[in-house]
Amino acid sequence: MPLPFPPFKPCPCGSERSYGACCGPLHTGKQPAGTPEALMRSRYSAYALRDTAYVRRTWHPDTCPRDLNLEEDGAKYTGLTVHSAQDNEVTFTATLKVGGRAHRLRERSTFEWRNGEWVYVSGAQP
């Protein structure tokens, strides 16, 4: 599967690594996320790149919304700050623009080890 973003460009997750060395291999299925933080970063990048299939694939089937469609959300993702990553929880702030207005989403995400890989379960505002 080809990368949905140039591999030499900075990764959208803000890791300061190239997309091809960071979230790209996770998006193509060549590498699983080794930690909840890596999965959260790759999911943020998938939102930024409008990769609905990846977001669905990495979401726990019991909590994934049926009507998820990133093509229609109209958001432009502009930044990610990871505040903490402990055990199966990651707290972060994502910045985005919707309709030209800036927004911040602060979330404490919970992940689960399921069938040999990390999946996103749910998020709450801390």
Question: All domains of the chain, ordered by start, with CATH?
Answer: 19-124 (3.10.450.50)
User: What distance in Å separates the CA atoms of residue 19 and residue 4, rounded to the nearest whole number?
Assistant: 10
User: What distance in Å separates the CA atoms of residue 55 and residue 47, rounded to the nearest whole number?
Assistant: 7
pLDDT at residue 57 greater than cutoff 80:
yes
Per-residue confidence at 118, pLDDT binned at 50, 70, 90? very high
Which stretches within 18-100 are classed as H helix? 24-27, 36-49, 52-57
Q: Angle 17-18-24 (CA atoms, 0-180°, nearest 5)?
A: 110
Q: Which two tokens stand for residue 60?
A: 């726990």
Check residue 62 and give left, alpha or beta (phi > 0: left; psi -120 to 50: alpha): alpha
72: number of Cβ within 10 Å: 10
> What does the pLDDT look like over 8-30, one tens digit per residue?
999 999 999 999 999 999 999 99
Pairing of strands 101-114, 75-86: unpaired
User: What distance in Å separates the CA atoms of residue 63 and residue 76, rounded to the nearest whole number?
Assistant: 24
User: What distance in Å separates the CA atoms of residue 61 and residue 79, rounded to the nearest whole number?
Assistant: 27
pTM of the full structure: 0.94
> What does the pLDDT look like over 85-104, one tens digit per residue?
999 999 999 999 999 999 99
